[in-house]
Amino acid sequence: ITRQPETWRETVQIVSDRKDELLRLVEEFRPEELLFTGCGSSYYLSIAAAYLFQEKLGVSAKAVPASDILLKPASVFSRGRRTLVIGSSRSGDTTELVRAMETARKQPSVRTLGITTNPDSLLAREGEAVVLPHVQEKSVVMTGSFSNMLLTLQLMAGWLSGDTAFLEELKRLPELGQERMAKAEELGRIVGGDQRFDHYIYLGQGSLFGLALEGMLKLKEMTQVQAEAFNPLEFRHGPISVLDERCRVILLSDRSLRPYRRSLIEDLRSLKAEVVLIDEEVGEERDDTPWDLGSGLSDQARILLYLPFLHFIGYFRALSLGLNPDRPRHLNQVVVL
């Protein structure tokens, strides 16, 4: 987890070296739709990326689990629409994803691009791919691969949108991540180590929904503690009925949520849940002190800085339960069908 900012630096370098080629791929093909896909964490990062690309480029972008492409291609592809499928996978060998990319390549008007950390994988060898070989994870649970693949997609969104201010922010992320790592670890220890709670709810909207899902999955994988993820305002439409004093809500917030945030937090608290608020600014909320993990950055850039903290929650919870966070039960690094 702590190695992430160091690997981000190398990712910026590797992906920047391929900038012209990646831009050419997209600009020559002129996709009318972007389709992001993956499994597990890699699907969740695809959700974050789809929102990001839609916002930055104004082009139709969506995310689907790789199994949708594999099993129900007709429900995914729009006939005659030039679609660029971007498939992410740490291992590059997850069967659903590899077969989904094969299925995609057989469709008319579709091109594919893979993102993986494994140069020897099927994903890297069978089609065009960005490979991040420096991100080698021994743990079964994916942490650094998620953030590095997300950073790759953030860089691509920056170049394609021509948003130079955003790109400048992205280049600063390794340094900022390093500076804030001790804080992310401390906060992760406080939140993850607290035994009063046995039900965690992660809330986030847009790209932050992808991160909420990632936080939820990491906690579930490392600890088997009950964890769920929702869109913040959607949560009030039914799921809120589960709240009690054993629930901890991790609320990931950006500028768009701020006008509604206070009343949401009041509702959550009135039902006895304890809320951890994550946003960029410090001290704006009267009854909560948001933790400054991403101040001074745009909503779309700072999402990366939240990942070590989300990963640490699962890590410290696992340690407090006497579990090995690297070796969760029932899980392997690669799911092969």
Give the CA distances from residue 200 to residues 40, 169, 223, 329, 331, in Å, rounded to whole numbers and listed in that order: 18, 31, 12, 19, 21
Q: Taking a C-beta distance cutoff of 8 angstroms, is the pair 196, 246 a contact?
A: yes
Contact call for residue 109 and ligand F1P (CB under 6 A):
no
Q: How far is the CB of 294 from ligand F1P (least distance, A)?
A: 24
The helices-and-strands tally (H runs, E runs) of the chain is 11, 10
DSSP line for 123-176: HHHHS-EEE-TT----SSS-SHHHHHHHHHHHHHHHHHHT-HHHHHHHHHHHHH
From the list 97, 122, 167, 170, which residue makes contact with ligand F1P (rule: CB under 6 A)? 97
Contact call for residue 215 and ligand F1P (CB under 6 A):
no
Which of 312, 20, 296, 292 minimizes the C-alpha distance to 143? 312
Select 36 or 291, whichever has its Cβ closest to ligand F1P. Answer: 36
Contact call for residue 89 and ligand F1P (CB under 6 A):
yes
From the list 59, 71, 140, 319, which residue makes contact with ligand F1P (rule: CB under 6 A)? 140
Q: How far is the CB of 41 from ligand F1P (least distance, A)?
A: 3
Contact call for residue 39 and ligand F1P (CB under 6 A):
yes
DSSP line for 18-71: THHHHHHHHHHH--SEEEEEESTHHHHHHHHHHHHHHHHH-SEEEEEEHHHHHH
**Which stretch, 27-35, 85-93, 206-214, 297-305, contacts ligand F1P (CB under 6 A)?**
85-93
Q: Strands 83-89 and 60-65, how do they pair?
A: unpaired
Q: How far is the CB of 153 from ligand F1P (least distance, A)?
A: 14
**Which stretch, 139-147, 155-163, 180-188, 197-205, contacts ligand F1P (CB under 6 A)?**
139-147
Select 84 or 141, whichever has its Cβ closest to ligand F1P. Answer: 141
Residue found by looking up tokens 């993102």 in the block: 115
Select 141 or 265, whichever has its Cβ closest to ligand F1P. Answer: 141
Give the CB-nearest residue to ligand F1P.
40
Three-state DSSP state, 177: helix
Select 93 or 169, whichever has its Cβ closest to ligand F1P. Answer: 93
From the list 49, 86, 90, 174, which residue makes contact with ligand F1P (rule: CB under 6 A)? 90
Contact call for residue 40 and ligand F1P (CB under 6 A):
yes
Contact call for residue 148 and ligand F1P (CB under 6 A):
no
Contact call for residue 91 and ligand F1P (CB under 6 A):
yes
Select 190 or 335, whichever has its Cβ closest to ligand F1P. Answer: 335
CB hemisphere CA count around 24 (13 angstroms): 5
**Which stretch, 53-61, 138-146, 251-259, 268-276, contacts ligand F1P (CB under 6 A)?**
138-146
**Which stretch, 11-19, 74-82, 136-144, 180-188, contacts ligand F1P (CB under 6 A)?**
136-144
Residues in the interface with ligand F1P (CB under 6 A) total: 18
Burial bucket for residue 257 (CB in 10 Å: 0-12, 13-18, 19+) = buried
The residue type of 125 is R
CB hemisphere CA count around 291 (13 angstroms): 23
| Binding-site ranges for ligand F1P (CB under 6 A) | 38-42, 89-91, 94, 97, 140-142, 221, 331, 333-335
